[in-house]
């Protein structure tokens, strides 16, 4: 019997979507996105969102529903997925929640700190004040009002520095305080869980092949369209791997191969960071080697 909820985490290019599709077709389930970059409508090819063929095989939720100008967060994703969980329960459909953003899974199954909503006036004003300000100056400003958070954050992490400043100004308390206040757990221990843990050479080869396929599928044109919007470079969507490397290529494509190589290297580094998070934060989840076909099929059979 299918579990009401299955959680599939894993590094980029590890085969998560393929496993989710196999489960969805077997059980009549819905596939739900748990990847912080695949939420953006402007990033279809560059984030390897499900193809039209994939979408035809099973219903998908929370993919490409956010404009790149929106700084989406784990809290907003939790609001979205809570609605999908309710819809699935009403419809009697199992959910397969799949992605590479470990923080989403940790918040889903362990609860999220209950930071109050930040007034838009504060958010807008702080971002305007920060425009053109060196990140080191932002870090110093945070150190003056919230030393614990300043000690945690890197001086160059503008997005998180701004978030910490927003919280302390809006609430009068450090973000560290709010992070200790846990929100509700949306998915309990009854959910099936798995982390895909492929061999490193196998994963690296898939990453290289997939990025070249992205270029063939229009990643360069997608990158140029997004850069043409001239959005704030600190927005999460503007940090997509390959965006700047491909979007700034000359019309004659001079430098294409170095751009692909650089983006591939960055993707491998990102996959390593994902694996580190999964080992540290989801260490008790079962592991599955996607290169092991027999293990893959045993998982599908529920063994």
For 155-201, what is each residue's pLDDT tens digit?
A: 888 888 998 999 999 999 998 888 777 677 789 888 999 999 999 99
Both tokens assigned to 227:
């850069």
Could you state, in order of their start, the residue ranges of all structural domains in the chain?
5-112+183-300, 120-179
Q: Is 3.40.50.300 the CATH classification of the domain at 5-112+183-300?
A: yes
Asked whether 115 and 167 are in contact (CB, 8 A), the reply is yes
> Whose CA is closest to 82, among 164, 171, 187, 155?
187
The dotted CATH code for 120-179 is: 1.10.20.140
For 112-138, what is each residue's pLDDT tens digit?
A: 766 777 888 898 899 888 887 887 899
What's the rounded Cα separation, in Å, for the pair 264 and 251? 21
Mean residue pLDDT of the chain comes to: 92
pTM value is 0.80
């Amino acid at each position: 019997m299918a579990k009401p909820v299955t959680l599939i985490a894993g590094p980029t290019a590890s085969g998560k979507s393929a496993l989710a599709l196999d489960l969805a077709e077997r059980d009549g389930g819905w596939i739900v996105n748990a990847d912080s970059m695949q939420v953006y409508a402007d990033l279809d090819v560059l984030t390897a969102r499900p193809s039209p063929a994939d979408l035809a095989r099973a219903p998908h939720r929370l993919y490409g529903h956010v404009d790149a100008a929106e700084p989406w967060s784990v809290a907003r994703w939790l609001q979205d997925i809570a609605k999908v969980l309710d819809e699935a329960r009403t419809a009697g459909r199992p959910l397969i929640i799949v992605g590479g953003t470990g923080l989403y899974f940790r918040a889903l199954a362990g609860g999220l700190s209950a930071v109050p909503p930040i007034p838009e006036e504060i958010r807008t004003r702080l971002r305007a004040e920060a425009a053109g300000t060196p990140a080191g100056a932002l870090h110093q400003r945070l150190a003056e009002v919230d030393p614990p958070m300043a000690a945690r954050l890197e001086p160059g992490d503008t997005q998180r520095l701004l978030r910490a400043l927003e919280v302390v100004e809006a609430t009068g308390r450090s973000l560290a305080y709010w992070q200790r206040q846990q929100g509700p757990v949306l998915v309990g221990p009854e959910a099936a869980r798995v982390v895909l843990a492929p061999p490193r050479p196998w994963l690296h080869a898939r990453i290289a092949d997939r990025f070249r396929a992205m270029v063939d599928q229009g990643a360069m044109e997608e990158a140029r369209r997004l850069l043409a919007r001239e959005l704030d470079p600190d927005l999460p969507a503007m940090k997509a791997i390959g965006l700047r490397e491909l979007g700034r290529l000359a019309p004659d494509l001079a430098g294409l191969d170095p751009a692909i190589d650089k983006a591939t290297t960055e993707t491998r580094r990102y996959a390593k960071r994902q694996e580190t998070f999964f080992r540290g934060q989801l260490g008790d989840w079962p592991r599955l080697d996607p290169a092991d076909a027999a293990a893959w099929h045993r998982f599908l059979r529920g063994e």
